[in-house]
Chain A
Amino acid sequence: MSRLETKLPGLTLKNPVMPASGCFGFGREFSQLYDLSILGAIMIKATTEEPRFGNPTPRVAETPAGMLNAIGLQNPGLEKVMEQEIPWLSQYRVPIIANVAGSQVEDYVEVAKTISGSPHVQALELNISCPNVKTGGIAFGTVPETAKHLTKKVKEVSEVPVYVKLSPNVSNIVEMAKAVEDGGADGLTMINTLLGMRIDLNTGKPILANRTGGLSGPAIKPVAIRMIYEVSQQTDLPIIGMGGISTVEDIIEFYMAGASAVAVGTANFSNPFICPELIEELDHYLEANHIDHISELTGRSWGADGKRAYHCS
């Protein structure tokens, strides 16, 4: 077994590095740049039952060490994703994690049922944390009971393990994690973007047409680290960590906080070759530091007395 091979519910990954949903489309664009089979997995773009155009432009704005986006879940809809995108992507030997979104419980259930039935989909990522749509998305990700209910409903129909993508836009992340764990989640992915805004000094108006957007990039890494640190000690669910990862040191830090795998988002935009570069460098890092397997790093930051090191409620 290699230093990087990772087993998670539903997933056997040759390495624990994957592009995050929404930053990689369905893989077609990046397939022109490198062999996608190198990746640990691919989290495909959020899929809704019907096609969505998304929000008006401008949809992105740069911020210090980060960016705001308000794409608005643009996607070709369930039917096209099932018929065109997933079969195309299946030519690469890489596990597919399908991001599921909707406006109401029934939408999520419908998409989850159909997409989890694809022989090429190994796991679902339940998107209850998109801050850029008026209904659904984050509305499900900020109230623990609602999140638990949705998770339960999706679990009832899903043929593959369900990872729930948590929103950082809550006052108590542990409560949210526990709620979806109660709902039957098999794992967590965290964190989604932080709600933010920028104003154009010339016009006095917000830069984004949607006014607000989700903040991602290195700027949010400390928030992700803190939340993974808290949640990983309070639930038994494995965590795929994300939020500003762009270097091997970032990956190590996420593991030490409590992650069992990682996803790379915004960094794919500034360096489209970032994922293969990180996979190669990660192996060298472990070898140079005499670490037999990456999983040894998970939770290194926790106190010697384990869960009691956690000091909040």
Chain B
Amino acid sequence: MIKKEWMTVFSQKKLAKNIYELTLQGELVQEMNEPGRFVHLKVSGQTVPLLRRPISIANIDQANSRFTMIYRAEGEGTKLLSEKKAGETVDVLGPLGHGFPVEEAQAGETAILVGGGIGVPPLYELSKRLNEKGVQTIHVLGFQSADVAFYAEEFSQLGATYVATVDGSLGTKGFVTNAIDEFGLKADILYSCGPVSMLRALEERQLTKKGFISLEERMGCGIGACFACVCHIQNDQTGTEYRKVCSDGPVFPMGEVAL
């Protein structure tokens, strides 16, 4: 169920250049039952910034009623968020959207999890759940450069982890697809989150028959009412068919939406 709660900051840590890890505590965590969903945060009680900020859920700890997000402090809202200290509160709406279907991977299969930049975080909770189920995970993480890279160590504890950076300052030089080629990575199922150009490249490559991708889009309400974040579907004859990224997604089966 979607709830709104003033949650308490448990910890906030800078992981890399402009990249922060924020852990919040509250009852709402009990509603979080699927990786890949997101929360919509109001970072200020004032009218500036006015809108909420959609941020993906990276780690769920229901025993302690805590969840963790990793975000980039880039605009006005996320910069304010990065200033929040332990004990302060944040207005959280969530959990929202449809996440990654863990049930689509079977025990004994191999899943490849490909993340680009700030698309990496939701794959962490996903990987944990896949591993719990007996699915082997391979992780490919793409970043611009070493100074904005994060969580390579955390992912490597869950399975083989490969990093690609555009400038070559860490891991394979280039994109995630270069790393996939370099190491000849193969899997039964793909899960991915990141920039559209990356998702498109992965879809064209047809690395696996089955895949699920998570999209990012500017949002208004976050619950499907405002129609700000719609996208076309593939092979639509009418041109009026659509999916809402916030409520139908953000995760879609590969091949469903037009990228």
Contact = CB atoms under 8 A, between A and B. Distances in A.
Interface of A: 22-25, 28-30, 32-33, 51-54, 57-67, 69, 71, 74, 77, 217-219, 246, 266, 268-273
Interface in B212-228: 217-228
B218 A58 contact: yes
Contacts of B217: 57-58
B80 interface: no
Nearest to A51: B240
A74 B231 CA distance: 12
B218 A74 contact: no
Interface string B86-114: 00000001000000000000000000000
B193 interface: no
Nearest to A217: B50
A62 B232 contact: no
A270 B47 CA distance: 9
B230 A30 contact: no
A20 to B, nearest CB: 11
B2 interface: yes
Contacts of B219: 60
Contacts of A22: 226
Contacts of B238: 51
Contacts of A61: 218
B240 to A, nearest CB: 4
B42 interface: yes
A67 B225 contact: no
Contacts of B63: none
A311 to B, nearest CB: 30
B39 interface: no
Contacts of A57: 217-218, 228-231
A62 B225 contact: no
Given A53-B232, A58-B217, A269-B225, 10 more contacts: A25-B227, A29-B223, A53-B242, A57-B230, A59-B218, A60-B228, A69-B226, A217-B47, A270-B51, A273-B4
B224 A54 contact: no
B50 A33 contact: no
Provide the main secondary structure of the chain A interface: loop
B227 A268 contact: no
Contacts of B222: 269
B239 interface: yes
B37 interface: no
Contacts of B228: 57-60, 69, 71
B253 interface: no
Nearest to A61: B218
B240 A270 contact: no
B195 interface: no
B227 A74 contact: yes
Contact of A268 (B42, B48, B225): B225
Interface in B31-53: 42, 47-52
Contacts of B232: 53
Interface of B: 1-2, 4, 42, 47-52, 93, 217-232, 238-240, 242, 247
A148 B118 CA distance: 52
A270 B54 CA distance: 12
A218 B52 CA distance: 15
B220 A67 contact: yes
A55 to B, nearest CB: 10
Given A57-B231, A218-B50, A270-B50, A32 B225 contact: no
A12 B218 CA distance: 38
Contact of A218 (B2, B47, B240, B242): B47
B5 to A, nearest CB: 11
A66 B50 contact: yes
Nearest to B42: A270
Contact of A30 (B50, B225, B227, B242): B225
Contacts of B247: 29
Most buried by B among A33, A60, A61: A60
Contacts of B227: 25, 54, 59, 71, 74
B242 A67 contact: no
Contact of A266 (B42, B50, B240): B50
B214 to A, nearest CB: 16
Most buried by A among B49, B220, B222: B220
Most buried by A among B52, B218, B222, B227: B227
Contact of B220 (A54, A69, A74, A271): A69
A312 B52 CA distance: 40
Nearest to A76: B240
B223 A272 contact: yes
Contact of B226 (A60, A63, A246): A60
A28 B218 CA distance: 21
A66 B46 CA distance: 11
Contacts of B224: 25, 28-29
A78 to B, nearest CB: 13
16 contacts: A23-B225, A25-B224, A28-B224, A29-B225, A51-B238, A53-B242, A57-B231, A59-B228, A59-B229, A59-B230, A62-B49, A218-B50, A269-B226, A270-B51, A272-B4, A273-B4
